[in-house]
Structure formats: structure tokens, C-alpha cells
A and B are shown apart, each in its own frame.
Chain A
Amino acid sequence: MTAPTNQASSTHEAVSQRVPLWRDAVVVKWMTQVTLLTLVLATLWFLASQAGDNLSARDIDIGFDFLERPPDIQLSEGIDTHPATGGRALWVGMVNTLRMAGAGIIFATLLGVVVGLSRLSNNWLIQRLGTIWVETLRNVPLLVQIIFYSSVLSTLPRVGLDTGPINGWLHISNKGLSIPRIFIADGFYQWAVVVLLGAIGARYVHKRRVHLHNETGANTSPILWALGTIVVFAIVGLFIHPAFSFIGPIMGAIAGLLDSLPVILPQVVLSAAAIFFAARWIRGFLADRRSAVGHLALSDDDYFRIIFAATAALIAVAILSMWSGFSSWLINSGTDLFEVIEDKFNADGAARPFDAMRPDIVKPGKFANYGTSGLTITIGFAAVFFGVVFYTSAFIGEIVRGGILAVPKGQIEAASAVGLSRAQSLRHIVLPQAFRIILPPLGNQYLNLTKNTSLAIAVGYSDIVQVGQTVYNQTGKTLPVVAIWMLFYLACSLTISVIVNYYNVRLKLVER
């Protein structure tokens, strides 16, 4: 190599001075970020303090105590139409939202697949029908559709004491559709324990039959056997379920135990957990950055990650230790949970797991209405249901169509080249590959559908938003109610994302 010249040594001197702070790339980068963070936090703090001032000036307090008080409202439908507390009312709304979302997701998927396939049909008429369905429904706002369905359905005949078509069995009127109802009764939970045992047994039986099949090669139909086991347990359970009442007192004991825990315990345990996990993460991170020869090269971003993890843990500890209300809330809700379960097992021996009732019509005052004994699908439910199902089916149809079209033609040609029939190639080659493409946007549609059920407020279906609005109109607690809405929907979105991602990852693994 060339010997260093004079030039090089002068270069050496020229560069050995320190970099001024305002020219240092790392310093500038972090100053920018700290500035932004400061501005954002300052803005938030400013808004929060304004809100605090305004609230105290107007004498509004934002506590959550309304959750415990009687709300004095009546809901149009749900598991409890006369909720005892504000919390219970919101709970009813949440169940209604989940019901709507669940039913909507199932039916929108089925209908969407039909629509998507029909658009690929080689039957001209069917294909056109699919296209018209998609282009009409996805270009009209969902809210307009929901209100339209609602106003069409409300032109059904008024409800009277002998509303048909089959009085006492099937009622159709402007109050909705009412049919006989099978519902879970007091003995259900004991019975469910028996079925749970059956499921464990079925798993064992399934394993055995699969093993037998592998040994002998005979057709042992393991799934049928497993299902059979569950059915046997379910039938036997109908007669022996009172035997499981003993679970109730056990749960009661757990509840008592939880209740006697000191408030400090969850604080200590959770703080320790936070510190432990942060420390473990940092250790793992450092180990990850250590190269084979033992060298550790940490960039500024790496330091940020470590500091962030440590700060997050410290903040968690600080919150836990300063806010003892949280840990007593944890203990209380744990106690409540087990007390509720104890209550569920308190039925007497004669209680049946299931019961059924015929619809009835009551006339408390001037106007007749459906009673609570039948299964009633109200106009509000139907309007929102048709709205979200039809609207989402148009989008799902397009996703399904796109997914199937995205499977390369070569795949189908290859399938027919190895002698698969059209149906076989669809079943084994096209659909599995299409499904992989379809799944992520499908998950997005499920998220949209769930959020869209909130439009129920326009037709008075008692979902969480509608109930929440009624509650805050009654109590004036707008801020807490809005916070509960947001938390609830975030939880729903997160759950759906987690499920979709889980399948997404699984499908990818299967691919390899």
C-alpha cells in the first residue's frame, strides 16, 4: 500500500476537530424528534387542561360512577331491556353490537362468495345479476340503504293482538318478526361442564382412532367418532347435570379468596412483571446485537429502543404504584367474575339446561307489542342487518372475484395437465391459493362491517352507540361514554385483526 504522504497527514489534522452540535446528524435527528414530541405533548396537555377548566367551570364531573347507578332508561331490545345500572345498559348495547357484527360477518361472507362466484359465472344472466348487485350496492351510502330498508319494513301491517300469519307461532308486523325461541335455562352451565368433559374425551377418542388408522390402514372415521362422543356426553348430560352443582361453591371460595387479597399484591406483582419483561426484552435485544466476535455496535435507534422499553416499564410501575384504584378494581372485578360464575351454578337440581317458548303479544297500554317470550327480530335489527350484509357482500364479492382471478392461469392448466377435473382443480388448486390472497382484504371488510354496525343509531337499533347516546343524554356523561365507545371498538378491531393475522401467518407457514 502507498505510504502516507504529507497531504494525508494534513488531512488527518483537518478532520480531528469535534463536530459542532447543530451539524451533527444524530443530534439534529434527535432534536427534531424531541421537539415534535414536545409540541404534540404540549398541545395535548393544553387541550386537556382546557377541558379540565371548562368542565369544572360548568360543574360537570367526568367520573364513571354512572356505570353503577340506575340509568332510568328502557332499551328497545337486547338481553335486558330494563337495565339496572348504566354499566349494564352499555353491556346490553355491546352484546347487541356483537350480535349484529357476528351475524353480519357470517351472512355477508356467504352472500359475498355467491356474488363473487356469480360474477365469474359463464352464464351471462347470472354474471350480469352479480355485476348489477355489486355496482348498485357499493355506490349507495350504507346509511341511505339502512334507512331505506327501515322505512320499507315499517310499512308492514301494524301489530295487533292476533297478528299472523300463524298466530302464536309466527308473527310478522311493523314491529318485526317473532318466532318461537329456544334459550339456555338455569341448568345450562352444569350441562356445559358435562359437554366440556365430552370434548376432552372426544379429543382422546380422535387421537386413538387416528392412531388406529395409522397402524392398520383401515378407515376409522375419527371425526365421526369424536362427534359421536360429544353427542353421547351431551345426551347423558341432560340427565346427570345437577351432579355438577358442586362447582358453584368452589367458585364462591375463589371469589372469597380474591376478595381477601391485599391491594398491594397486584401492584407488586404487576410492577415486577413489567420490570421483568422490559429487562428480558432489553437483554434479548442486546444479545441479538452482539456479533459472533463479541462486538456490539449500537446505533442511536437501538439506544432509543432500549430507553423506550425501560421508560415504558417505569411508567407502568409509576402508574401502578400511584393509582391504587386500578389494582383494587382488578381485585374487585376478579371477585365479581367468580361470584357471577358461582351464581350461574346455583340452580336447583330440577333446572333444565334448555327451554323453549312461543312468541306472545302483549298490550300493556293502548298499543300492542311483542312480548319477551318469543325470538324477535326487530325492524331496526333487520334494517341494519340487511344494510351491512348487502353492502359488505358487494365488497366481499369483488375481493373473492379478484382473488380467484389472481390465481395464475398456468396453475389451472397444470392442474388439468395432471388430470384433475374442473371441480377438483377448483377445490385443490385454485381456492387454496385464492384464499391466501383474499384473506387480508376480507379481514379489512370484517373490520369495516363491525364499525358500520354503529350506523344502527339512525334506525334506533340498541347497539352500543345508540345506548351510549341515550345514557349520556340522560346523565350528561358524554366524555366517559365516548371513551367507552372507542375502547370497545378498538378492542373489537384488535380482536378481528389478531384472528385474521393468525390465519394469515398459518396459511403462509402451510405454504412452505
Chain B
Amino acid sequence: MNDMDTDARTDAEPPARSERDLSNAADMIVCEEICKWYGDFQALEGVSATIKEQEVVVVLGPSGSGKSTWIRCINRLEQHQEGRIVVDGVELTNDLRNIEKVRSEVGMVFQQFNLFPHLKVRDNVSLAPIWVRKKPKAEAEEQAQALLELVGIPEQADKFPGQLSGGQQQRVAIARALAMEPKIMLFDEPTSALDPEMIKEVLDVMKNLALSGMTMMVVTHEMGFAKEVADRIIFMEEGQIVEVGTPEHFFTNPTEDRTKLFLSQILA
């Protein structure tokens, strides 16, 4: 992460993300016909999708459409009951080694931040590298400091999460996920619990991350972010993928009626 070129990015025009040619890139996430039930209720009804390396995919859809369930299945916070999920060549099964491997390669950012309130910000970031990645403590703390600088809050390292604003907390959460040097980052509505004036600071960090070439899967309601950053948009409803396409296609002439209805409600 540290080689991310921050200066070059700021004055360059954002490249047209959707025009990138990713067809030769490797598959990072492959989902085949995933199904998931909660008792009687079917949350996912045969979801299939493939996400390429360096690709940024935004998942849209009304609440309760299964978006969160899907991305939580990808690092096995939830278990899918049918179908296959392959993350970077590793299939998610009951194999303990695979679960460990996938968890440490997939970073996740939650809606409610879920920072550890009893640990200082620096320890929040360095805890997992020390005990999961088995890094020496000094090295992990150095890396934590660098990551906090990357998300723009190096001066908060010695505070406790409770002393930070929501936006700062979410940025710490991103740093915490990045500390595991993941190949894929999952964002589960990262700005939904934030006050409006703090949303931008988090989105900026996410944009920079996308520009640096991270593979990202983002569940969000931020249409601006989707338009600007996404390579592809996946629209879900009632546990199924309704429509997939580039931002241009999605926002200008969607094919499905349900997508049109959703967009008219959102953009009205």
C-alpha cells in the first residue's frame, strides 16, 4: 500500500474508469449460483458474478435486497448454503485453512465501523498484523502509523476510538482493513452511519484506494461515487442480480423496469 502515489493522483484527471480494459485480468472473486436462507426466508436466490483483479464493483439495490448478505458471504461472515464462492483461487468450503486464508486476504469495512473501543487507534490497526500475520510489533506499529497517514489522521494514533468523529472512525476502520495487506476490499455501506459532512472524507479515501488499483466491492447508496469510480454496477433486488453494467449504461439507459423504478425513486 505504501507505494501508492498520492501526488500524481491529485492533479491528474480521473481516468474514465469504465473504459479500462480488464478482460485479461485475473478473476479475483467468482460466485456461482449462491443461495442463502434464513429459516423460511431466502436472502440470496442464485447470485452469480465474477469480479476481476483491480476492478471496482458497486452493488446497488433497495434495502433488504441481499446486498450485504452477499458481500458478507464472500469473507464467510455468513455461510452460503448452495453454490460456490472462489476468492483468488481459493474456494470457500469448510476447510479451515481456506477460511483463514480468505479472511486475511479480504479486508472488510462495516457500516457501524466496529472499531475495538478498548484499544488505542494504533493498536486497532496493528493488532491483526501482529497476531494474524505474525509481524514483529515494531514493524506492525510503523506500518499502522503509515496507514493512518494514508487515511489522513496520523495525529489520532494515541487516542481511543470513542474520542474520534464518525468520519475519522471509519477512516481508522479502512486503515485497519488495509493493515492486513488485502487483495480485495469489501465495503458494507461505509457511509450510511455518518453525518453528511463526514461522508466526503471517507469517500475520498475510498476513491484514492480505487485509483491505486485495489479490487473493491462496495455496497453503498452514494450514486456520485458509483458514477465516478465504479467499473461496473450490479443492481440487486429480492436476492437476485437484476442488472449488470457500466455506470454510463446503468444511469442513462437501464434495460430492466425494476432498475428504472429504483433509479427514479433514488434520483427523484
Which residues of A come within 8 Å of B, CB atoms? Answer: 1-2, 4-5, 7-8, 10-12, 14-15, 19-20, 23-28, 288-293, 295, 297, 299
* Cβ-defined contact, A15 with B86, below 8 A: yes
The minimal Cβ–Cβ distance linking B197 to chain A, given in whole angstroms, is 30
Interchain CA distance A249-B91 in the complex, whole Å: 77
B94 at the interface (CB under 8 A from A): yes
List residues of chain B with CB within 8 A of the CB of A24.
94-96
**Inter-chain contact count A-B, CB under 8 Å?**
65
Q: Which residue of A lies closest to B86 (CB)?
A: A11
Knowing that A15-B84, A15-B93, A291-B41 are A-B contacts, what are 19 other residue pairs whose CB atoms are under 8 Å apart, sorted by A's residue number?
A: A2-B23, A2-B52, A4-B27, A5-B26, A7-B26, A8-B50, A11-B86, A12-B86, A15-B90, A19-B94, A20-B95, A26-B94, A28-B96, A288-B39, A289-B39, A290-B40, A292-B42, A297-B81, A297-B82
Residues of B within 8 A of A23 (CB): 95-97
Give the complex CA separation of A25 and B30 in angstroms: 22
Write out, one digit per residue, whether chain B residues 80-104 have a CB within 8 A of any chain A CB (1) or not (0). 0110101001110111110100000
Interface residues in B136-160 (C-beta closer than 8 Å to A): none
Given A19-B95, A291-B37, A291-B39, A11:B49 Cβ within 8 A: no
Contacting pair A8 B30 (CB below 8 A): yes
Partner of B89, one of A5, A15, A19: A15
Per the 8 Å Cβ criterion, residues 20-57 of B in contact with A are 23-24, 26-27, 30, 35, 37, 39-42, 48-50, 52
B50 lies within 8 A of A2 (CB): yes
Contact of A11 among B30, B52, B93, B96 (CB under 8 A): B30
Q: List 11 A-B contacts (CB under 8 A).
A: A5-B26, A11-B86, A15-B91, A19-B93, A19-B94, A23-B95, A27-B94, A289-B39, A291-B42, A292-B42, A295-B35
Neighbour of A25 across the interface among B26, B27, B96, CB < 8 A: B96
Q: Is B244 an interface residue (CB 8 A)?
A: yes
Q: Which A residue sits closest to B92, measured CB to CB?
A: A15
Complex Cα gap A4–B50 (Å): 8
Q: Which residues of A contact B30 (CB under 8 A)?
A: 8, 11
In whole angstroms, what is the CA distance A1 to B27 when docked?
A: 12
**Chain A's nearest CB lies how many Å from the CB of B225?**
23
Asked whether B93 lies within 8 Å of A293 as measured between CB atoms, the reply is no
CA distance A42 to B148 in the complex (A): 53
Contact residues on B (Cβ < 8 Å of other chain), bracket: 20 to 34
State whether A1 touches B48 (Cβ < 8 A): yes
Taking a contact as CB atoms closer than 8 A, the residue among A1, A15, A289, A293 that contacts B50 in the complex is A1
Interface positions of B from 53 to 95, Cβ below 8 Å from A: 79, 81-82, 84, 86, 89-91, 93-95
Cβ–Cβ < 8 Å partners of B35 in chain A: 295
For A14, the closest partner residue in chain B by CB is B89
State how many angstroms separate the Cβ of A301 from the closest Cβ of chain B. 12
CB proximity of B236 to chain A, nearest CB, Å: 14
Point out the residue from A4, A25, A291, A299 that lies within 8 Å of B40, measured CB to CB: A291
- How far does the Cβ of A292 sit from chain B's closest Cβ, in whole Å? 6
Inter-chain contacts of A11 with B (CB < 8 A): 27, 30, 86, 89
Complex CA distance for A25 and B79, rounded to whole angstroms? 12
Which of A7, A12, A26, A297 lies in contact with B37, CB distance below 8 A?
Answer: A297
Q: Which chain B residue shows the least CB distance to A12? A: B86
When the two chains form their complex, are residues A1 and B244 in contact, meaning their CB atoms are under 8 A apart? yes
Q: Which residues of A contact B81 (CB under 8 A)?
A: 297
What are the nearest 4 A-B pairs in CB distance?
A15-B91, A19-B95, A25-B94, A297-B81
Q: How far is the CA of A297 from the CA of B38 in the complex (A)?
A: 9
B42-A293 in contact (CB<8A):
yes
In angstroms, how far is the closest chain B Cβ from the Cβ of A235?
59
Q: What is the CA–CA distance of A11 and B94 in the complex, to the nearest angstrom?
A: 17
**Cβ–Cβ contact A7 & B27, under 8 A:** yes
Q: Are B27 and A5 in contact (CB under 8 A)?
A: yes
Q: CB-CB < 8 A to A19: which residues of B? A: 93-95
Q: How far is the CA of A11 from the CA of B95 in the complex (A)?
A: 16
Q: Could you tell me if A292 and B93 are in contact, using CB atoms closer than 8 angstroms?
A: no
CA distance A68 to B135 in the complex (A): 72
Cα–Cα, bound, A297→B89 (Å): 26
A7, B86: Cα distance in complex, Å: 12
> In the complex, A138 Cα to B41 Cα: how many Å?
52
Q: Do B90 and A292 touch (CB < 8 A)?
A: no
Shortest Cβ gap from B215 to chain A (Å): 14
CA distance A299 to B27 in the complex (A): 30
Q: How far is the CA of A152 from the CA of B148 in the complex (A)?
A: 71
Chain B residues with Cβ under 8 A from A293's Cβ? 42
| A159 to B52 Cα, complex, angstroms | 98
A479 to B14 alpha-carbon distance, docked (Å): 82
Q: Is A295 in contact with B37, judged by CB distance below 8 angstroms?
A: yes
The chain A residue with its CB closest to the CB of B95 is A19
Provide the bound-state CA to CA distance between A27 and B95, in Å: 10
Residues on B with beta carbons closer than 8 Å to the beta carbon of A290: 40
Instruction: State A292–B23 Cα separation when bound (angstroms).
Output: 39
Interface centre among B24, B40, B48, B99 (most CB of A within 10 A): B40
Q: Considering residues B26, B90, B94, B244, which has the most beta carbons from chain A within 10 angstroms of its beta carbon?
A: B94
Q: Please give, as numbers and ranges, the residues of chain A lying within 8 Å of B48 by CB-CB distance.
A: 1
When C-beta atoms are compared, the residue in chain B nearest to A11 turns out to be B89
Nearest-CB residue, chain A, relative to B40 = A291
Q: How many Å from the CB of B48 to the closest CB on chain A?
A: 7
